[in-house]
Amino acid sequence: MSRAVVEACRTPFDLSLEAIASDKSISHRCAMFSLLSDRSSTVRNFLRGEDTMASLSIARQLGAEIEDRGDVIRITPPAELREPDDILDCGNAGTGMRLFCGLLAGVEGSFVLTGDRYLRSRPMKRVTGPLQSIGAKIDGREEGNLAPLHIRGGQLKAFRYESPVDSAQVKSAMILAALRADAPSYYRESFLSRDHTERMLRGMGVSITTDAEGWITVTPPEGPLEPLDITVPADPSSAFFFAVAAAIVPGAKVRIPGVTLNPTRIEAFKVLEAMGATVEYRLHEDVYEPIGEIRIAYNGRLAAVEVSRRIAWLIDELPALAVAMATAEGISRVRNAAELRVKESDRIASVVAALQACGIETDEYPDGYAIHGGTLKRATVDSHGDHRIAMSFAIAGLLCGMEIEDIDCVATSFPNFFEILSRITEVQI
């Protein structure tokens, strides 16, 4: 198991981060949604992380022809999705597994979805339950809650479903199932989760509308969809590690071009701004999504903040935000974030344990934590196999030095993270 030793950063930095990892959510969807067309999709800047490459391999196993020309990937779907002769391995990716459940539930054939030991312990009933209720045949341990999952695809019924969780993965799985149902379907969540699926499928010609009460109507298309022609923007969740770096290292600045400015994805930058960092947004284009540049600069010691609303819009950034909170003046609190417990690790437990190791006082709640801002101390932090924990505490290391155990997971979403970090400070792997 590999480890990283990050030394404290001695000089302020001013970085333009052209090489931030491409968006993971959008890349997964590119691999999957290209299967819904009858023509080749063109995808530029596909994320070459382990999670999204696993989705691309699954697309290939389902019969897609993948022409990888480096910067551009052309994905040519088969006339009919093929029943694969082997298991479909989603690696560490909850998005891969949950969205493929919805996509495959309506396809004739037998499919087995599995993943690494972390993914095999994450709850899948949130998608398999509603899919089973519309006629999908899915089985797995704990009555379809734990992978490996076996899907026997077939005809699905149209539905009206109100989700008990605000989850883009559940929403997307159900929208994908709705595309193959026998009539229009309706879906509602209590708070809008990230909406890449709606935006991208609309761009491919699907009729997806949302009414004033938040009900999404999905009408099954009559034929194949338009192919995708897309440049995947930079991932704001990956960019956020360096946003926190700029906000906590005196005199630092970063510029992140080509990033999605989708409001369901940049809430954590707004929180950093509320804590006192200087944050600027510049909109450049709108193709499927608003895309532009974010600039972040150090602006003195951060102030504590309470985060209990719009949780779905910053759920992935909470570990990095915890590092910013640890340096802030006062007690910060995160509430209504019980979803953190079922991410790549139990992120409430992982964040609290790591901060305590770094000498920061914390209180743990069932749905969040309180962080008493202070001075971070060098420590050895266990990532628990969770990429975002590993990267968050590598960033904390800029202030005090840090040793992070089990960093292989970083390759799932941000393969060049340590290379970028080593432009700011000394890093030993």
Catalytic (active-site) positions: 316
Strand-by-strand arrangement of the 362-365 sheet = 306-307, 331-334, 368-372, 362-365
Residue 357 is given by DSSP the state: H
Determine the interface stretch with ligand S3P among 80-88, 168-176, 325-333, 416-424 (rule: CB under 6 A): 168-176
Is 167 a binding residue for ligand S3P by CB under 6 A? The answer is yes
Cα gap 302→189, rounded to integer Å:
33
Q: Please identify which residue in 35, 36, 131, 168 interacts with ligand S3P, judged by CB under 6 A.
A: 168
Helices 94-104 and 50-61, interaxial angle, to 10°? Answer: 20
Determine the interface stretch with ligand S3P among 133-141, 143-151, 167-175, 327-335 (rule: CB under 6 A): 167-175
Based on CB atoms, which residue is closest to ligand S3P, 124 or 352?
124
In whole angstroms, the minimum distance from the beta carbon of 316 to ligand S3P comes to 5
State whether residue 293 is helix, strand or coil: strand
The footprint of ligand S3P on residues 189-208 (CB under 6 A) is 193-194
In whole angstroms, the minimum distance from the beta carbon of 30 to ligand S3P comes to 12
Is 185 a binding residue for ligand S3P by CB under 6 A? The answer is no
Q: Which two tokens stand for residue 361?
A: 């006082």
State whether residue 2 is helix, strand or coil: coil
In whole angstroms, the minimum distance from the beta carbon of 144 to ligand S3P comes to 17
Phi then psi dihedrals of residue 107, to 5 deg:
-105, 130
Angle at 152 between CA 144 and CA 39, to 5 degrees: 120
The dihedral of CA 171, 174, 180, 186: what is its sign?
A: negative
Based on CB atoms, which residue is closest to ligand S3P, 166 or 406?
166
Cα gap 118→116, rounded to integer Å:
5
In whole angstroms, the minimum distance from the beta carbon of 48 to ligand S3P comes to 17
User: In the Cβ-directed half-sphere of 16, how many Cα atoms lie within 13 Å?
Assistant: 4
Is 238 a binding residue for ligand S3P by CB under 6 A? The answer is no
Is 262 a binding residue for ligand S3P by CB under 6 A? The answer is no
In whole angstroms, the minimum distance from the beta carbon of 21 to ligand S3P comes to 13
Based on CB atoms, which residue is closest to ligand S3P, 73 or 168?
168
Phi then psi dihedrals of residue 79, to 5 deg:
-60, -45
Buried-exposed string 200-216: b where 16+ CB fall within 10 A, e elsewhere:
bbebbebebeeeeeeeb
Helices (H), 62-195: 94-104, 125-133, 141-144, 168-178
Say which amino acid occupies 190: S
Is 339 a binding residue for ligand S3P by CB under 6 A? The answer is yes
Is 362 a binding residue for ligand S3P by CB under 6 A? The answer is no
Determine the interface stretch with ligand S3P among 64-72, 74-82, 165-173, 283-291 (rule: CB under 6 A): 165-173
Buried-exposed string 49-63: b where 16+ CB fall within 10 A, e elsewhere:
bbbbbbbbbbbebbb
In whole angstroms, the minimum distance from the beta carbon of 322 to ligand S3P comes to 15
Is 103 a binding residue for ligand S3P by CB under 6 A? The answer is no
294 beta partners: 256, 281
Determine the interface stretch with ligand S3P among 48-56, 162-170, 242-250, 284-292 (rule: CB under 6 A): 162-170
Is 169 a binding residue for ligand S3P by CB under 6 A? The answer is yes
Tell me the site size for ligand S3P, rule CB under 6 A. Answer: 11
Determine the interface stretch with ligand S3P among 164-172, 175-183, 200-208, 210-218 (rule: CB under 6 A): 164-172
Q: Please identify which residue in 34, 42, 172, 425 interacts with ligand S3P, judged by CB under 6 A.
A: 172
Cα gap 67→85, rounded to integer Å:
21
Based on CB atoms, which residue is closest to ligand S3P, 316 or 386?
316
In whole angstroms, the minimum distance from the beta carbon of 98 to ligand S3P comes to 7
Interface mask (CB under 6 A) for ligand S3P, residues 292-321, using x and -? -----------------------xx-----
Q: Which residue is nearest to ligand S3P (CB)?
A: 25
Cα gap 252→274, rounded to integer Å:
18
Binding site for ligand S3P (CB under 6 A): 25, 95, 167-169, 172, 193-194, 315-316, 339
